[in-house]
Structure 1
Amino acid sequence: MSETLAAVVNKDAADTKKLAEQLLAQAREQGIDLVGPGGLLNQLTKTVLETALEAEMTEHVGYEKHDPVGRGTPNSRNGTRSKTVVTEIGPVQIDVPRDTDSSFDPKIVRKRQRRLTGVDEIVLSLTAKGLTTGEVSAHFAEIYGASVSKDTVSAITDIDDVMRSRSGRCSITD
């Protein structure tokens, strides 16, 4: 993922830097913080995720949003639903597009997914450093403004689940 991001950033580094400077200047003018709920990074993350989800929906249904071609098709766009996902920068509320026959299966933020994968990695790292589930939960509340319960932390760090997700197997004894 970081190689992909590096390729995008390095392609037009001057343009990217200029855009970042403009966004930061506008945020300062409007009194918007860089981080935190409603902060610039939160808004950018929301925009990027929603843009990716809309692109996935366009590919799924075969037409752009508001395109009259979609009228009368067996499956069409059907609004959005709000969902909050916990990211490395805190909780981000996104609008996920829907389709009429509920066959849309997004990849960037999957159905029922509430945490982006980076959050799992942070939790595993903190517990590997000896923090308890309660301390990890408190850390997320304090640093990211996100509510991650002790049960969620425990589920993320459950070795059986970790082994299954990494190897595709059902348990350690398989």
Structure 2
Amino acid sequence: MTSELVSARKSETGTGRQLSPEQAAAAAMVAEAKARGLALTGPDGLLKLFTKSVLETALAEEMTEHLGHEKNRAEPGRESTNVRNGSRTKTVISDAAGEVGIEVPRDREGTFEPQIVKKRQRRLTDVDEIVLSLYAKGLTTGEISAHFAEIYGASVSKETVSRICACRELHPRW
């Protein structure tokens, strides 16, 4: 955990309340963006990077769930020979972040059907606002899973949501 995140978690809001972990992580991300001279919005802004990070993490976790094992962790002697087979670049259009280039994982057998960004889907309707809202509000994994099902019609398990949240409080490429 970065020192900025720890400091942000310890800081308090103007009302004397302690920041939630999600609020602290968001505050740390904004502070890091400002320190690097990164705009919050725009072609290379924080919102676009955050959207890209969340989408790619969700897709990677969907692939893990689809294959039944983490990357490079397949058990010897398993029945299926299906494994990860690289990724392909896809550009999606978001209302708040504009065009966002993402890497969509592939499997060798071609049976992976992503739910967060479906095959042939090019437009993300309100994804940015939903992702940021859910992140900032500190919803439970079940609530986030239900919200994605309600908004996108996508089946995202609580385990997948949990792995996504645990893996990426901050984008590691920063």
> TM-score normalised by the shorter chain: which range applies?
0.5 to 0.7
User: CA shift at 1:71, angstroms?
Assistant: 9.0
What residue ranges of structure 2 are gaps of 5+ in the alignment?
1-17, 128-174
User: Can you list the C-alpha shifts for 1:125-150, whole angstroms capped at 9, x where unaligned?
Assistant: xxxxxxxxxxxxxxxxxxxxxxxxxx
Q: 2:35 aligns with which of 8, 17, 29?
A: 29
What residue ranges of structure 1 are gaps of 5+ in the alignment?
1-11, 120-174
Runs of 4+ in structure 1 deviating by more than 2 angstroms, as ranges, are 68-73
Secondary structure of 1:92 counterpart: strand
Partner of 2:15: none
Q: 2:46 aligns with which of 36, 40, 50?
A: 40
Q: 1:79 aligns with which of 62, 86, 111?
A: 86
Counterpart AA for 1:106: P
- Of Structure 1 and Structure 2, the greater helix share is in 1
Relative contact order higher in (CA < 8 Å, ≥ 6 apart): 2
2:47, 2:107 → 1: CA distance? 29
User: Can you list the C-alpha shifts for 1:87-139, whole angstroms capped at 9, x where unaligned?
Assistant: 122111110000001110101101111111339xxxxxxxxxxxxxxxxxxxx
The two structures have a TM-score, normalised by structure 2, of: 0.57
1:36, 1:70 → 2: CA distance? 46
2:42, 2:86 → 1: CA distance? 28
Question: What percentage of residue pairs aligned between the two structures are identical?
Answer: 49
Contact 1:70 1:76 in 2 (8 A): no
The two structures have a TM-score, normalised by structure 1, of: 0.57
Counterpart mapping for 1:6-155 below 5 A: 14-69=20-75, 73-89=80-96, 90-118=98-126
2:77, 2:42 → 1: CA distance? 40
